[in-house]
Amino acid sequence: MNSLKRIFVTVGLCLLAGCATPSSMILKDGRELQTLDTPKYDKQSGFFEFKLLDGKPQKINRDSVLTIRNLK
């Protein structure tokens, strides 16, 4: 029974990992940030929220972003 639970958990985590879409954000100052997933826009704060490739959470002002494109 325990091994069956482990299999389901492993398969579930693999499916969730497959849903992430790495993205590239080009900023107006010319920098490029690569993200683990598509940045989410928070209307209240005016910031994009995302995780960098090292997994650290990051926020950046919408006015600083030139383009966002998916890498897949």
Residue 44 has pLDDT above 80, yes or no: yes
Mean pLDDT of 47-66: 95
Model confidence, pTM:
0.68
How many Å apart are CA 72 and CA 68, to the nearest integer?
13
Q: What are phi and psi for residue 67, nearest 5 degrees? A: -145, 160
Please give the pLDDT value at position 52: 92
Mean pLDDT of the chain: 84
Please give the pLDDT value at position 13: 53
Residue whose C-alpha is closest to residue 35's, from 45, 46, 21: 21
CATH code of the domain made up of 21-70: 2.30.30.100
What is the distance of C-alpha 39 from the center of its chain? 5
Using an 8 Å Cβ cutoff, are 50 and 40 in contact? yes
